[in-house]
Amino acid sequence: MDRVAVFVDAGYLYAEGSRALAGRPLTRSAVVLDPPSAVSVLTRFAREQSGLPLLRIYWYDGTAHRPTRAQVAVSEEAGVKLRLGRVDGGGRQKGVDALMASDLVGLARNRAMTDCVLLTGDDELRLAVAEIQQLGVRVHLLAVAPAPRSQSRLLRQEADSVHEWSAKDLVFMSCRSPDSSGRGWTGGEPGARRRETRGMSLRSDGLPGECVGGRTAGVREVTRQALRRVLIREFAARTGRHPRLLAHAGECEGLHSERGGV
């Protein structure tokens, strides 16, 4: 039957996707994936490349014990088949490649698909790709840019077509910012974020502030307030007056003038 199937190596997608968005691979807890959006983008890509209806999306991942919430959320999407291997004590996936290779060959032999989209970078799938091609299946290999670094060269040579997704194509993924503020990089390259903050420094609250003469207005204000508190305490020690009264009476102004101002 003329249909296209999609095979997603989730480990590859999370690692290379976070690298594209944040500039480096992040842990799973730092990456947010929107399953409905991911399914929509993958389905549209598969149909555009093959011109065929979608059979289903096969999503391959690993787990130490039971499926995670993120994996369950993916599996609940219509047209998605979750296939789980193991994750060992060192965090390495085991059995995922074998599952993917088995499904590729099985679907090809049963003539359940004529085209497939393969989102992975693993060289170990090269033999499975060659075998299903002999059975008449066209293989469209999809990478997260830059493909020469993230994908096996031999795997790319075996494929019928090779495609790349840049950071702007990963609209279904976002990465939590390092300060855990909840703001993330979504579909934008980290270089743009760095360019936005170039020529800026941090205010007292940790947010970017506008540079004025090499110092931020926020830092100047904090310095001014700190020195004012020192003057108030010193004046209170001399006069025996309570510091809270000074703010209303303005009695510290004399000392301020004696010191030449802040």
pLDDT tens string 86-133: 876 666 777 788 999 999 999 999 999 999 999 999 888 999 999 999
Q: What is the pTM of this model?
A: 0.68
Vertex 157, ends 106 and 161: CA angle to 5°?
70
My answer on whether 121 and 69 are in the same domain is: yes
Assigned domain for 194 exists:
no
**Residue 83's domain is classified under what CATH number?**
3.40.50.1010
pLDDT tens per residue, range 62-94 = 888 889 999 999 999 999 999 998 876 666 777
**Bigger pLDDT: 43 or 220?**
43
Q: Tell me: the pLDDT tens digits for 186-213?
A: 444 444 333 333 333 333 333 333 333 4
- 81/108 Cα distance (integer angstroms): 17
Q: Report the domain count for the chain.
A: 2
Answer yes or no: do 135 and 12 share one domain. yes
Q: What is the pLDDT of residues 134-173, one digit of tens each?
A: 999 999 999 999 877 888 899 999 999 999 999 999 999 9
On whether both 144 and 260 belong to a single domain, the answer is no
Look at residue 156 and tell me if it is in a domain.
yes
Do 109 and 133 touch, CB atoms closer than 8 A? no
**pLDDT reading at 184 higher than 70:** no
Are 251 and 140 found together in one domain? no
Q: Is 84 exposed, middle or buried (0-12, 13-18, 19+ CB in 10 A)?
A: buried
Report, as an integer, the average pLDDT of 24-39: 93
Task: Please report, rounded to a whole number, the percentage of residues in the chain having pLDDT higher than 70.
Answer: 68
Co-location of 179 and 232 in the same domain:
no
Residue 193 belongs to a domain: no
- Please say which residue of 160, 188, 216 terminates a domain: 188
pLDDT grade, residue 30 (50/70/90)? Answer: very high
Q: What is the extent of the structural domain holding 223?
A: 199-262
Q: Which of 142, 164, 188 is the last residue of a domain?
A: 188
Statement to judge: residues 163 and 213 lie in one domain: no
